Every structure is written in C-alpha cells, then in structure tokens.
Structure 1
C-alpha cells in the first residue's frame, strides 16, 4: 500500500467521523391520545353516581350538627323537626310536644312537665342513617337524574336503589336523594306502603355544623 493510499484512507475516516450523525429515533413513540386519556382517567377517575352518594353519606355521618324536617304524607300525615348535636344529642319537635334525647335517656315533656325515660340503646340511630345507606353500601345502585334545586339551592338528583328490601315491601327499597354542591345531603324522598296504604316521607336537611345549635337537658 502506498503512502498516498494510506493518506486517502485516513482522510475518508476523518470526514466520516466529522459528518453529523442522523438523529436517533426516540426510544418510545408518542403515546396515542386515547392511551393518554385512559391513563389520566385511571389516575384521576371521575366519581360514579354510587361514589357520590356514598361520599355524601360519609360526610353526613361526620357532621357535628344539623337541622332536619321530616314530612309524612299519606295515612299518617305529620311533620316533625329535629336538631342534632354530635355525638348523641337530639331535640325533636313533635305534635305531642318537644322531646330531648341525650344518650339513651329521653326527657319527655307533656303538659308543662318533664320526666326522664330510658331508651333502648340505638333507638334514634335511624335519624343518622334513615334508610340504612351506610349499612347496605355494598348493595346500592344509583342512577344520576341530573341537576335540580331544593328551595332555590342547587343540587344533584339521584335515584338510589337498595337491594335489601324493607320488611313487608315487595321489592328493593328506592328513594330519591338530592346532594348540594358541598357534597352534603339536602333532601331525601322515600315512598312506600304501610299497612297496605301508600305513604311518602320527605327529609330535608340544613344548618350543617352550625355552632348555634345547642341541646341541653330540660331543667
């Protein structure tokens, strides 16, 4: 090999070494838009109607106080009002008079007099979960019914079905549930039959965590 050949070979190698290299292909191609969307949804899933109702009940059970009005229509029409202060104080305004419950003791008032009456443990727990939503979470089926309002307050409306029927009821327990923008319940409507006659029960909630609600034993 001549000196000229060696020099020419070195020149070719030098030029090849100085030639810009072709950019390497990315290690992974950009993910399709639908894959990105699915991944984002998995990381930040939107709540389902069932999740929203269960979350509302969880928030309701953690409330330190609230006011409720129960209206019964049908064979036994009546309206009762109730105040609650955690953990176990209730004041119920009923047609027969105002009753105060603290723990498992009722201070029954009638004709201007008050007397203490012991109550079986958990007698008023139904007021904290009137249709056993918490107890039967696993059996709930929820259908979103869109936007609505309760006394001018914006709400989401749901039809809730409980696969556990009430005693004496022919099928699953159903009720309509309204939830405010803050996630707390505004209203619950349940319709059914009692002693073969139809009735409807409406529970309307307000004044959650209101510190001015106080309940003391009558003097």
Structure 2
C-alpha cells in the first residue's frame, strides 16, 4: 500500500471540510480524485502533503505518517500543483539542481533522467531560462520534470491538464504509465472526467467533504445503480444531484 487515508477529518478552521474520509492508493495504481468545486479535493491534497494538520484520522505513506518521520514522509511525495510554483530568481537548471538536493538524489542518475524528460517536454534548449521567460504551460512542464526525477513512491497531481497542449498531455500520460509500472502510486485530481475515465484504475468521488463512492468504473456503476455503459461523468453528476 502506498497511501492509506483513514477516517480523515480536517479543514482550514474549526469547522471541518473533510468529514471522515477513507481511501487507498496501491502500488502501480492511478486513482482519480473526483469532485465539484468545494467538494474537498484540494483540502484532501493539502492534508496529504502536510500543509494542513488533521483534526483526527490518519494518513500514512508506505506505513509512515508525518508525525512518525516528517523528512522520510515528505521524501516519498512528489507534488504537481494546479498552478505552477517556481522561484523567479532560479533558472530551469537551478530548479532541477534544487530538487536533486532536496530529495538527496544521486546527481548523475537524476540528471540523466532530467535530460531525458527535458527532451520529452521540449525544454532541453531552455535550461538557462528563468520563469519569467516561460508560458504557463511551460512552467507546468518544469514542475512535471522536477517531480518525476524524484522516483517518488507517491505522485500527487492536481488538475494536470490545465495549460498543457495536447502533445504535452499525451507525454504526461505516458510518463504516468511508466511510473505505474515502476510501482509508484498516483493520486490525480481532475475535472477532465473523460480522460480520467480512460486512464485511471480507480476513482474516489467526493461530495461535500465525504466519500460518496469509490472503486473501479464497474464498481461505481453497480454501487450507484447506473446503466452498464454509464460514463464517469454520468455517475458523478447523478450522485451530486441526489446529494
């Protein structure tokens, strides 16, 4: 088991946003975190990456909690936020070097992987550029490159398709498949339900801070008494309206 969230209650104030949610991400599994705006997706992610402290419940990555060993816990995570976060005074090369130092990576091996990814995302000739020189989509690619050189146990990807061109989306999906084969777990939050339906192994459907349903598409269809050919979008909209 890569990620195990158990009875998580939490939020940003004394009033909980998350109301006892539980789900898992296994090795080699891509799990889609699905929900409307305000359903609790970002709050869930912020608890997993350690920005927010749970009111109660437990989050473990490969059996380690943030309280057990903060450094070991965080080294197991690579996070790609919805809005790219880069240091304006650092070049692309320096962002990669900073990632290598932060994760205590072998420099030669990490740079070999970084160079391969830079070619995939067509950034190899922009190694000395600063963030001010990049478009939003290019900044997103920088975040992807830095995340995927870490060999993390758990990748958390928040709305990865916003700002990416179709070719970059395809490259990212291929990269996710490669990391799944390596044994990494991936939690992906997205509103692009058609792509999620095609690529995710399982889904966690959040509504008003609760897990309303989870499982494979077939399991969701059965649990929501949906038609055998119902799409992920059909299932979620039906569930949200009933909720």
Q: TM-score, normalised by structure 1?
A: 0.23
Q: Which has the higher contact order (CA 8 A, sep 6+)?
A: 2
- Greater strand fraction, Structure 1 or Structure 2: 1
Larger gyration radius, structure 1 or structure 2:
1
- Greater helix fraction, Structure 1 or Structure 2: 2
Q: TM-score, normalised by structure 2?
A: 0.21
